[in-house]
Structure 1
Amino acid sequence: MTYMANRDHQRAYFSFFSTYDNHVTTDPKQMVVPIDDHGFHRGDGVFEAIKWVGNKVWLLDPHLSRLEKSCDKIKISLPLSVIDTKKKIEELVAVSKVPQGIIRVFVTRGPGSFGISPYESTASQMYIVTTELKDWSIDRVQKGVAIRKSDIIPKKGLFAQVKSLNYLPNVLMKKEAIDSGFDFAFGLGENGEVLESSTENVGFIKDNTIVTPLFDSTLRGTSLIRLTELLPKNSEIIWQQRIFSYQELINADEVFLVGTTLDVMPVTRIDDIAKPQTEKSLWLRGLLKTDQT
């Protein structure tokens, strides 16, 4: 008897390109990766998630720049030039025929063996897939999200700064949040400093200062960087990067998460503590939304 898994979820996958097969397809059954690719069985690779709205691919250059830097840090060569990668992304967005979505670009060490040695791979590969972008409703955004401290040990140093395919700590952090009735969880460093969520940067607002963690222990978020660039010149609101504690987060006027798929999301509960104030966080969200159109 032949068993086929339910593939209804694949309706949210619109288009795909692989340097391994050098073809573009809109058939989810053809969106495949070699099983001996080291990106699959060793997590040996990097990725980016990029949003498009209408005809605009948002922050494409910063994302591809970070992809290049991630590849350089783990010594993987890009299979396509940045220019050719841009062209392929534009092609995939066009054939997807949907008004918005997420472009996921993966660069792996490539196939060649099931061993751990990176030198057993034949060549690095790139896989690009366009997928559905799930918008949060206005009511859900205004309600905000609940976050909790995580018991999962966060990634450190290079592993925190590279957007790699080694996401097991992030996966367990997200599972921990959902299993305990929260939307997101965030990590704490060795000295109790706040780091980041499973896939989002964490920030808070106190008086007129936006505070986020240093990038030496967190991923350099493209959405966060863009948000700081959009702050009005000569505004009373300023951005500050520094180490801060859990208690300082609790005592903030407002707390928010920021990321590509989430934009800016107000946090209205941290563990068992309510944080009802969201006015400035919603204003920050509006800055990103306007920039995407």
Structure 2
Amino acid sequence: MGPRDSFSRPTQILTPEEVLRGLYGCLHENARTNYLAFYSSRLGGITTDPALMVVPMDDHLVHRGHAVFDTATMTQGYLYQLDDHLDRFYTSAGKAALVPPYARPQLRRIILETAAASQRFDGSIRYWLGAGQGGFGISPLECLEPSFYCMVYHNRETPDHTKGWKVKTSPVPIKDPYFATLKSNNYLPNALVALDAQLEGFDQGVFVDSEGYVAEGSVMNIGMITQEGELVVPPFEQALAGCTLKRLLHLLSEALARGEDDILAFIRTISQRKFTVEEAKQAKEVFMVGSNTMVMPVIQWDDHPFLNMKPDPEVGPLALALRALLLEDLDPKQDRGQHVEVPYDFLTKGF
């Protein structure tokens, strides 16, 4: 037997004071540094203390995964594409039979004021709608009222787009279309896709259906640019309709209509259709799209490299040009109707 199996000791019964000390004592460095503000409908307000950003175990969000969520980017004191993300959030809520505890204007205000409470200008804001507390049964009919949580945080690290990603065809079964298009809390398949890839030395995995058609990555959409100049992304039938991807396709359509004479001139058409792994491996470039990664060039798929891999990998210029389109749009100074200003004066107005 190992040292952990050779003895036992009584389990401690904690006092409330000891519980509180324990919450502070077990804080990890990521929480101390990057968890900035948290709203809980259970508490009816915001805390900026990472030790107190807790969720009750009997919320069906926790023990049954009955919840939906979404994430928006905070940049230079603005939330980017907030209303597009909220539209998807409400669509997911409807499919998950969840009704928010507040009307949309109030829920939107909570998100913005939680962002303000972080006193930061850049980061991410994620919000959840759960079935709520009430017990440990399976049916949400036992829940007393829906729960809403909102978290502002910094990403610990941003992937380096100059190096690109190596991706792997995942053996993890793809989600059923109903659940693949619903942004629910059940991300176990997604987590296993990422884990399988990273244990094999890849950066990300890719969901593929039984016929070999590409769907999406673990937490991002995927696309390719063929040798003939067709930019292709899978249909949103067995993949989440990515807000960032939809915005990118819109921006690219505008750029092509203007006939801009740059690297993007290689792209002649934009399509949303099925394509196989083997077709993707024959593409000129492959890329992934997400709110945190923006556009990430793919330099290798399984054992197939896309560009020179010796001595150093090269990222695709088309993917970098697509990334530049999004980065320009992300800048609030462009004033393209995609940004909502964070109301920092909320902190000084009083209540």
Q: TM-score range by the shorter chain?
A: over 0.9
Structure 2 residue identity aligned to 1:251: Q
* 1:161 maps to 2:161: no
Partner of 1:44: 66
Structure 2 SS opposite 1:33:
coil
Partner of 1:100: 122
The equivalent position to 1:198 in structure 2, one of 186, 199, 218, is 218
Partner of 2:281: 250
Structure 2 SS opposite 1:129:
strand
TM-score normalized with structure 1 length: 0.95
The equivalent position to 2:88 in structure 1, one of 62, 66, 76, is 66
How far apart, in 1, do the equivalents of 2:194 and 2:286 lie?
19
TM-score normalized with structure 2 length: 0.80
**1:259-289 deviation per Cα after TM superposition (whole angstroms, max 9, x unaligned):** 0111000000111111125101000001111
Number of paired residues? 291
Structure 1 SS opposite 2:327:
helix
The equivalent position to 1:227 in structure 2, one of 234, 238, 248, is 248
1:93 CA drift (Å):
1.5
Structure 1 residue identity aligned to 2:301: I
How far apart, in 1, do the equivalents of 2:51 and 2:163 lie?
38
Partner of 1:82: 104
Question: Deviation above 4 Å: which 4+ runs of structure 1?
Answer: 1-4
Partner of 1:214: 235
The equivalent position to 1:262 in structure 2, one of 293, 302, 323, is 293
How far apart, in 1, do the equivalents of 2:130 and 2:174 lie?
23
RMSD after superposition = 1.5
Partner of 2:45: 23
Partner of 1:180: 200
Structure 2 SS opposite 1:265:
strand
Structure 2 SS opposite 1:143:
coil
* 1:142 maps to 2:162: yes
**Greater C-alpha Rg:** 2
How far apart, in 2, do the equivalents of 1:57 and 1:223 lie?
13
Partner of 1:289: 327
User: Which has the larger displacement, 258-267 or 236-245?
Assistant: 236-245
Structure 1 SS opposite 2:42:
coil
- Contact (CA 8 Å) 2:78, 2:121: kept in 1 or not? no
Taking only the aligned residue pairs, the percentage that are identical comes to 35
**1:187-215 deviation per Cα after TM superposition (whole angstroms, max 9, x unaligned):** 11121101111100010011322101010
Structure 1 residue identity aligned to 2:235: L
Structure 2 residue identity aligned to 1:279: P
How far apart, in 2, do the equivalents of 1:59 and 1:278 lie?
27
* 1:7 maps to 2:45: no
What is the 5 A alignment of 1:108-119? 108-119=130-141
- Contact (CA 8 Å) 1:150, 1:187: kept in 2 or not? yes
- Contact (CA 8 Å) 1:76, 1:109: kept in 2 or not? yes
- Contact (CA 8 Å) 2:248, 2:322: kept in 1 or not? yes
Any stretches of 5+ residues in structure 1 without a counterpart?
none
Structure 2 residue identity aligned to 1:7: H
The equivalent position to 2:318 in structure 1, one of 280, 284, 287, is 280
1:6 CA drift (Å):
4.5
1:136 CA drift (Å):
3.4
User: Which has the larger displacement, 221-230 or 205-214?
Assistant: 205-214
Structure 1 residue identity aligned to 2:275: F
1:233 CA drift (Å):
4.4
How far apart, in 2, do the equivalents of 1:89 and 1:190 lie?
40
Structure 2 SS opposite 1:68:
helix
**1:141-183 deviation per Cα after TM superposition (whole angstroms, max 9, x unaligned):** 1221110000100111110000000111001111111111110
How far apart, in 2, do the equivalents of 1:89 and 1:72 lie?
20
